[in-house]
């Protein structure tokens, strides 16, 4: 067995992964090779140090401290989601509102603009000229009567229009 391959076998031997014959061959090599023997002792030292340690315990009242945190996390869950996505949603919403407003201004008909009388008549599929003529005729008679009344009043009061 070559020293080059021995180190890996030493490492694997600590995990009980060597076959019987491999284990035997390793032991034979270690007997005759002080360098590999030293390496093996170094590995053993490190592993003993790691495994022989007394571990501390978690701080007391582990569950009692955990329980309120779980409840708190539960109640803040929607808030957390809002924190995650809400901040990004704000500028996106503002842009969407702006674009919508622009679209409304540009493309929708202006409701404030009143239709002309003839336009309204055309919309109702009526002839505006016919309506206008009758209107003028009607207005003409009233105007004549009104003019007579006003003229009579002016003459009585001695004033002129």
Instruction: Tell me if 1 sits within 8 A of 25, measured CB to CB.
Output: yes
Of 3, 35, 47, 97, which one interacts with another protein (CB under 8 A)? 47
Q: Which is nearer to another protein, 70 or 87 (CB)?
A: 70
* Contact between 56 and another protein per CB under 8 A: yes
Taking the alpha carbons at both ends of the chain, their separation in whole angstroms is 135
Backbone φ and ψ for 127, nearest 5 degrees, come out as -85, 115
Q: Which is nearer to another protein, 55 or 107 (CB)?
A: 55
Burial of 121 (0-12, 13-18, 19+ CB in 10 A): middle
| Binding piece for another protein, criterion CB under 8 A, among 14-22, 105-113, 119-127, 129-137 | 14-22
- Both structure tokens of 56: 């501390």
Closest separation in Å from C-beta 34 to another protein = 12
Binding residues (CB under 8 A) for another protein: these are 7-8, 11-17, 23, 27, 39, 41-51, 53, 55-59, 62-63, 65-67, 69-70, 73, 77
């Amino acid at each position: 067995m070559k020293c080059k391959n021995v180190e890996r076998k030493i490492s694997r031997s600590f995990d009980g992964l060597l076959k019987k014959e491999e284990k035997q061959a390793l032991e034979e090599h270690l007997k005759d090779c002080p360098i590999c023997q030293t390496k093996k002792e170094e590995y053993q030292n490190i592993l003993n140090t790691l495994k022989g340690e007394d571990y501390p315990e978690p701080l007391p009242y582990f569950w009692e401290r955990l329980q309120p945190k779980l409840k708190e996390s539960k109640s803040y869950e929607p808030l957390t989601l809002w924190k995650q996505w809400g901040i990004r949603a704000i500028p996106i919403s503002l842009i969407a509102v702006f674009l919508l407003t622009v679209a409304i201004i540009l493309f929708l008909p202006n409701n404030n603009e009143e239709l002309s009388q003839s336009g309204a008549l055309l919309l109702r599929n009526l002839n505006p000229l016919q309506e206008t003529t009758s209107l003028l005729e009607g207005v003409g008679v009233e105007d004549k009567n009104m003019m007579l009344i006003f003229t009579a009043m002016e003459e009585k009061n001695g004033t002129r229009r």
